[in-house]
Amino acid sequence: MSTTTQQRHKNVVEAVLGMDPDAVAYVPSNSIAGIINGLIDNAGPDTRVFPVSREEEAVGVIGALPLAGKFGVIVMQDNGFGNALTALTTFATSYHLPVVILANTRGGLGEYNSMIHSISAPVPDILRAANIPVFGLDRRNSPADWQATVTEAGNHARMTYRPVVVLMEFFDFNDKESRA
């Protein structure tokens, strides 16, 4: 039996792999380990899934793929946008690079780190101010909605030639397995 959170993870993995990315870079995080492990375990031979040490490194590596006719996805936490903002705005956005960024949110309900809200709370507004499209998912969305939104974010990034962010809030009152 799987929990709602596990089903969301599975649907996000299916959506990412359905985009047929050439590479997926992730910043290791226990909060999204289900997605990371699902991508590692299920990626085909033509999709490279690998860790990076920082979010701006992910933007540099994945952002370079479209310059070679390829496509990639980044998986990270939203507090990492503090590190990635310059790379996103001066590279990915300025050069019209289609990149999908999936980021779990921090700082909301169920958050144990009382300092994390300082960067996480303003992330959606910061990204919108930088003209980066942001879409959100939370407990009110079904696992099928999660998959559809991630799929459409990939379509939108490719269609508009720009980075697109999906913020994923996993906290769920009804699922003890969910994490901040």
pLDDT in tens, the chain (180 residues): 478 888 999 999 999 999 999 999 999 998 899 999 999 999 999 999 999 999 999 999 999 999 999 999 999 999 899 999 999 999 999 999 999 999 998 656 555 655 566 677 789 999 999 999 999 998 899 999 999 999 999 999 999 999 999 999 886 666 666 554
Q: Which of 46, 21, 24 is nearest to 35 (CA)?
A: 24
Could you tell me the CATH number of the domain that includes residue 65?
3.40.50.970
Is 96 domain-assigned?
yes
> Is 25 a member of any domain?
yes
Token pair of 3 as six digits: 């929990």
Which range of residues forms the domain containing residue 60?
Answer: 4-168
pTM of the full structure: 0.93
Note the Cα 48 to chain centre separation in Å. Answer: 16
The verdict on residue 174 lying in a domain is no
100: tokens are 């999908």
User: Any residues with CB less than 8 A from the CB of 46 and at least 6 apart, and which?
Assistant: 20, 22
Domain count of the chain? 1
Confirm whether 133 is domain-assigned: yes
- What is the spatial distance between Cα 7 and Cα 1, in angstroms, rounded to a whole number? 10
The answer as to whether 180 is a domain residue is no
Helical spans, DSSP H, in 19-142: 33-42, 55-64, 81-87, 117-120, 123-129
Q: Is residue 178 part of a domain?
A: no
> Does residue 130 belong to any structural domain of this protein?
yes
